[in-house]
């Protein structure tokens, strides 16, 4: 997952058009394109919406509507690390609520927020399919099962050491 | 000396450290002068034993588990690479009681073979189903599926053959096969395991569907939360294309069929079939009003089969071995096998594929071994976030469609989530409403507004504010959502809420709430 973010206003339009061109052969390609845009920019920057609308012959409202419908698409770049914690029933049954609270307290942020230093974005996720080893989480796309508060601290600590 | 060792690359095994175990094992073996040929497989489904390491010995694959990275040096010293005795040695998985009592048809290969090894897939009976399908032709294929009694394993349990028949009877022209791989129900992971562990069975099943109804194009709609499955599926599709099993001339039959994987973007509602079709077309996943059925007017307006992963992956074995063989498993109107998934607060979580008829208690106790916490299991939720909560008094119910329906519950996709006696059922009811509010597509009012008000009322009841009035309001909202929602999200969210209120009334009465 790329976290290279383009600052707003400096949108590289040609990069978006290259992505669009790559999907020309597909029917109904908007979501596929949005995935690639997010991979390239770390998010779907608001400035990309009119570019995509023009290129795909859609209204801006249609593109905006799709971007905002799906939880996966962000309109702002995430922190340097992305921590996803599963909030679904299986994880709740195995101590997930305590893990959610611990993550929020440790990072000082709620779900959908990024720490003020830009280090970690905390996201809620509803099932990772790792329900036989609940509670589950992902950190920068790496999956982790049976996550305790201590384990989470270790993961965040270890990752921070690697990245800084 | 060279030894072949199997360590899963299944996401569940990776989440428990399989990658670190694999790396360490190769390194430690090399230090001991042994060349390890590391093979990667799917998971056998015994997740409490993951990471599971299997060593190829003279008399078969000897398993050890759970093997953490830290266990590796000692195990290698003590003779893991020759299958020597050790407290973590499990013997052959096929002889392990948890596995030996299962009836694996759909999951026959999962965990046994390298998921991308097409030769191994074919050597173990793969593509025999498609070969027979090509001999039979459309009507006979559909008949075979009808005869097998296969019902949609995604949750709705609609007879698969009837769906196929409807699409077959539409006038010739563009038709589509779509696979719903948006496995969003908490407690379910069989689709993920199958796609990561035996993707060719899904590809073959979809190809058979294409041949049956005259569709030349298929889509797998895969949730974005499954990046490992995405990689494996795309690898398998490329290999199948290369081998002439997908493309312009499938198995030299002159028939064309090809596949594309499309990623969802984190929307539970897209597991609803019409919402999934909207999403496949690149739009907001708002549901469509039926009729017309997708079988008549589905993807891009063309007749479309929408089937779940397990449904489609069960088709090759049905075609290869005949409908009668498959139908011999199961009972009454629940035929064949069902991959059950044990989840939540459970000691031995994992995948149990058996003929329909196992009771909830047998699953929880004989396979699950009770709760992980060691406390009594107080409730189970079956079939995901829209499934009912069952109290212990209902644990003797057989896990099949009709028996569960009789007690107001549903089997859904076969996920069973166990909760111990620390669970607060009012909070679970509130969460069910909250989840519906988060995931509602917003198209119909009962779901969009009812869920928000339901969550508010249950939260207030939990705080003891005007409790009776709040709970009466919840009942009323449930009635409206149940009867007036456009799809299953709003229409079924009342199941967990009402079953919690009915079976666990003590959690909804005045009390001192502990937190």
Coil/strand/helix, residue B295:
coil
Q: Is residue B242 exposed (0-12), middle (13-18) or buried (19+ Cβ within 10 Å)? A: exposed
Nearest to A145 among B12, B224, B439 (CB): B12
Cβ distance A133 to B225 less than 8 Å, yes or no, reads: no
Nearest to A126 among B16, B264, B268 (CB): B268
- Residue B507 is predicted with a pLDDT of 97
For residue B30, the number of C-alpha atoms closer than 13 Å in the C-beta half-sphere is: 8
Cβ distance B263 to A35 less than 8 Å, yes or no, reads: yes
Nearest to A130 among B185, B189, B438 (CB): B189
For residue B161, what is the enclosing H or E element?
Answer: helix B160-168
Mean pLDDT of B273-297: 97
Question: How far away is chain A from the Cα of B245, in angstroms, using its nearest Cα?
Answer: 21
Residues of A in contact with B284 (CB under 8 A): 65-66, 69
pLDDT interval class at A161 (50, 70, 90): low
CB-based contacts of A152: which residues, under 8 Å, 6+ apart? A99, A102, A103, A106, A137
CA-to-CA dists, residue B176 to A24, B77, B258, angstroms:
20, 55, 10
Beta carbons of A131 and B415 less than 8 angstroms apart: yes
Question: How far away is chain B from the Cα of A162, in angstroms, using its nearest Cα?
Answer: 17
Fold of B2-100: Glutaredoxin (3.40.30)
Kindly report the average pLDDT of chain B as a whole number. Answer: 97
A67 close to B (CB below 8 A):
no
Cβ distance A93 to B420 less than 8 Å, yes or no, reads: yes
At residue B232, does pLDDT exceed 80?
yes
CB-based contacts of A113: which residues, under 8 Å, 6+ apart? A121, A122
Kindly report the average pLDDT of chain A as a whole number. Answer: 92
pLDDT interval class at A11 (50, 70, 90): confident
A11 close to B (CB below 8 A):
no
Q: Give per-residue pLDDT as tens, B394-453.
A: 999 999 999 999 999 999 999 999 999 999 999 999 999 999 999 999 999 999 999 999
Q: Return left, alpha or beta for A95; rule: phi > 0 is left, psi -120 to 50 is alpha, else beta.
A: left
At residue B142, does pLDDT exceed 50?
yes
* DSSP per-residue string spanning B93-159: GGGSHHHHT---STTSSTTTS-TT-HHHHHHTTTTHHHHHHHHH-HHHHHHHHHHHT-B-TTTT--B
At residue B214, does pLDDT exceed 90?
yes
pLDDT interval class at B511 (50, 70, 90): low
pLDDT interval class at A2 (50, 70, 90): very low
Residues of A in contact with B385 (CB under 8 A): 88-89
Residues of A in contact with B192 (CB under 8 A): 129
Question: How far away is chain A from the Cα of B24, in angstroms, using its nearest Cα?
Answer: 18
Share of chain B above pLDDT 70, in %: 99
* DSSP per-residue string spanning B211-247: HHHT--EEEEEE-TT-HHHHHHHHHHHHHHHHTTSSB
Cβ distance B265 to A31 less than 8 Å, yes or no, reads: yes
Q: Give per-residue pLDDT as tens, B242-258.
A: 999 999 999 999 999 99
- Residue A164 is predicted with a pLDDT of 43
B345 close to A (CB below 8 A):
yes
At residue B514, does pLDDT exceed 80?
no
- Residue A159 is predicted with a pLDDT of 58
At residue B109, does pLDDT exceed 50?
yes
Token pair 């190809």: residue: B207
A28 close to B (CB below 8 A):
yes
Q: Give per-residue pLDDT as tens, B340-388.
A: 999 999 999 999 999 999 999 999 999 999 999 999 999 999 999 999 9
Token code pair at residue B361: 């208690």
For residue B278, what is the enclosing H or E element?
Answer: helix B273-280
As a CATH number, domain B118-327 is 3.40.50.11540
Question: How far away is chain A from the Cα of B381, in angstroms, using its nearest Cα?
Answer: 9
- Residue B331 is predicted with a pLDDT of 86
Residues of B in contact with A128 (CB under 8 A): 11, 225
Mean pLDDT of B493-510: 96
In the CATH scheme, what architecture does the domain B330-420 have? Roll (3.10)
Domains and CATH numbers, chain A: 13-69 (no CATH), 81-163 (3.40.30.10)
Q: Give per-residue pLDDT as tens, A59-112.
A: 999 999 999 999 999 999 999 999 999 999 999 999 999 999 999 999 999 999
**Chain A residue nearest residue B438, CA to CA:** A71
Euclidean distance between CA atoms B415 and B379, whole angstroms? 14
Residues of A in contact with B268 (CB under 8 A): 126
Q: Give per-residue pLDDT as tens, B37-53.
A: 999 999 999 999 999 99
Kindly report which listed range (A68-72, A154-158, B233-237, B295-299) carries the lowest average pLDDT score: A154-158
CB-based contacts of B415: which residues, under 8 Å, 6+ apart? A90, A131, B185, B186, B187, B188, B189, B340, B341, B343, B382, B383, B384, B387
pLDDT interval class at A12 (50, 70, 90): confident
Provide the ipTM.
0.96
Nearest to A132 among B264, B268, B350 (CB): B350
A2 close to B (CB below 8 A):
no
At residue B208, does pLDDT exceed 90?
yes
Sign for the CA dihedral angle at A121, A125, A130, A136 comes to: positive
* DSSP per-residue string spanning B372-394: SSSSPEEEEEESGGGSPEEEGGG
Nearest to B15 among A28, A30, A145 (CB): A145
Buried b (16+ CB within 10 A) or exposed e, B90-116: bebbeebebbeebbbbbbbbbbbbbbb
Helix axes B309-321, B128-136, angle to 10 degrees: 70
At residue B288, does pLDDT exceed 60?
yes
Mean pLDDT of B484-495: 97
Token code pair at residue B138: 């459309």
Nearest to A70 among B11, B265, B381 (CB): B265
Nearest to B225 among A70, A129, A144 (CB): A129
Euclidean distance between CA atoms B216 and B187, whole angstroms? 34
Token code pair at residue B261: 């994987």
- Residue B1 is predicted with a pLDDT of 79
At residue A5, does pLDDT exceed 60?
no
E strand residue ranges, B280-396: 304-308, 330-331, 334-335, 337-344, 350-355, 377-382, 389-391
pLDDT interval class at B210 (50, 70, 90): very high
- Residue B500 is predicted with a pLDDT of 98
* DSSP per-residue string spanning B388-449: PEEEGGGTTSBSSHHHHHHTT---TTSEEEEEETT--HHHHHHHHHHHHHHH--SSSHHHHH
- Domain extent listing, chain B: 2-100, 118-327, 330-420, 425-508
Rounded-to-5 percentages of helix, strand, coil across chain A: 45, 10, 40
Coil/strand/helix, residue A58:
coil
Token pair 């699409």: residue: B167
pLDDT interval class at B460 (50, 70, 90): very high
For residue B359, the number of C-alpha atoms closer than 13 Å in the C-beta half-sphere is: 10
- Residue B515 is predicted with a pLDDT of 42
The matching CATH number, chosen from 1.10.20.140, 1.20.1440.230, 2.30.29.30, 3.40.190.10, for B425-508 is: 1.20.1440.230
For residue A44, what is the enclosing H or E element?
Answer: none
- Residue A4 is predicted with a pLDDT of 47
For residue B260, what is the enclosing H or E element?
Answer: strand B258-263
Residues of A in contact with B419 (CB under 8 A): 93
- Residue B243 is predicted with a pLDDT of 98
Euclidean distance between CA atoms B166 and B146, whole angstroms? 12
């Amino acid at each position: 997952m790329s976290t290279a973010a383009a600052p707003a206003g400096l949108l590289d339009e040609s990069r978006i058009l290259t992505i669009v061109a790559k999907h020309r052969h597909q029917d109904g390609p908007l979501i596929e394109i949005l995935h690639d845009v997010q991979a390239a920019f770390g998010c779907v920057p608001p400035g990309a919406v009119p570019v995509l609308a023009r290129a795909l012959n859609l209204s801006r409202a249609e593109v905006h509507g799709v971007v905002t419908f799906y939880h996966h698409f962000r309109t702002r770049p995430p922190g340097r690390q992305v921590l996803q914690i599963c909030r679904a029933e299986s994880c709740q049954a195995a101590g997930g609520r305590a893990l959610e609270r611990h993550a929020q307290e440790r990072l000082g942020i709620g779900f959908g927020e990024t720490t003020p230093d830009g280090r970690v974005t905390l996201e809620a996720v509803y099932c990772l399919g790792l329900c036989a080893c609940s509670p589950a989480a992902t950190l920068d796309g790496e999956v982790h099962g049976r996550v305790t508060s201590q384990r989470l601290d270790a993961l965040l600590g270890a990752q921070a050491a690697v990245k800084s | 000396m060279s030894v072949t060792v199997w360590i899963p690359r299944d996401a569940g095994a990776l989440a428990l450290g399989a990658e670190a175990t694999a790396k360490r094992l190769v390194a430690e073996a090399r230090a001991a002068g042994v060349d390890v040929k590391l093979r990667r497989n799917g998971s056998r489904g015994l997740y409490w034993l993951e990471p599971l390491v299997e060593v190829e010995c003279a008399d078969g694959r000897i398993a050890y588990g759970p093997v953490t990275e830290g266990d590796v040096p000692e195990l290698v010293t003590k003779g893991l690479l020759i299958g020597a005795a050790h407290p973590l040695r499990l013997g052959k998985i096929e002889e392990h009681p948890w596995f030996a009592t299962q009836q694996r048809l759909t999951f026959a290969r999962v965990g046994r073979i390298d998921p991308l090894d097409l030769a191994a897939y074919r050597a173990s009976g793969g593509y025999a189903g498609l070969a027979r399908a090509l001999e039979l032709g459309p009507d006979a294929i559909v008949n075979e599926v009808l005869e097998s009694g296969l019902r949609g394993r995604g949750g709705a349990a609609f007879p698969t053959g009837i769906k196929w028949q409807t699409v077959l009877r539409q006038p010739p022209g563009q038709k589509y096969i779509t696979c719903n791989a948006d496995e969003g129900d908490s407690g379910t992971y069989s689709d993920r395991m199958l796609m990561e562990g035996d993707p060719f069975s899904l590809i073959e099943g979809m190809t058979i569907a294409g041949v049956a109804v005259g569709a030349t194009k298929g889509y797998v709609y895969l949730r974005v939360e499954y990046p490992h499955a995405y990689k494996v599926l795309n690898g398998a599709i490329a290999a199948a294309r290369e081998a002439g099993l997908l493309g312009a001339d499938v198995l030299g039959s002159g028939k064309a069929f090809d596949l594309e994987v499309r990623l969802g973007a984190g929307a539970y509602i897209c597991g609803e079939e019409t919402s999934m079709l909207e999403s496949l077309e690149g739009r907001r996943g708002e549901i469509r009003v039926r009729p017309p059925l997708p079988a008549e007017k589905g993807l891009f307006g063309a007749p479309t089969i929408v089937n779940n992963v397990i449904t489609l992956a069960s088709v090759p074995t049905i075609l290869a071995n005949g409908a009668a063989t498959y139908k011999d498993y199961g009972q009454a109107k629940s035929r064949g096998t069902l991959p059950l998934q044990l989840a939540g607060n459970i000691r031995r979580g994992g995948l149990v594929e058996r003929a329909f008829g196992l009771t909830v208690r047998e699953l929880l106790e004989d396979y699950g071994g009770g709760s992980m916490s060691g406390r009594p299991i107080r409730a189970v939720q079956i079939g995901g976030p829209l499934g009912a909560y069952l109290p212990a008094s209902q644990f003797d119910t057989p896990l099949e469609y009709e028996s569960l329906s009789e007690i107001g519950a549903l089997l859904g996709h076969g996920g069973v989530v166990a909760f111990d006696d620390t669970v607060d059922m009012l909070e679970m009811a509130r969460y069910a409403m909250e989840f519906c509010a988060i995931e509602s597509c917003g198209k119909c009012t009962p779901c969009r507004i009812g869920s928000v008000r339901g969550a508010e009322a249950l939260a207030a009841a939990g705080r003891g504010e005007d409790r009776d009035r709040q709970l009466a309001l919840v009942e009323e909202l449930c009635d409206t959502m149940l009867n007036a929602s456009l799809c299953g999200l709003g229409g079924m969210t009342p199941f967990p809420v009402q079953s919690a209120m009915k079976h666990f009334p003590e959690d909804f009465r005045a009390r001192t709430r502990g937190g």
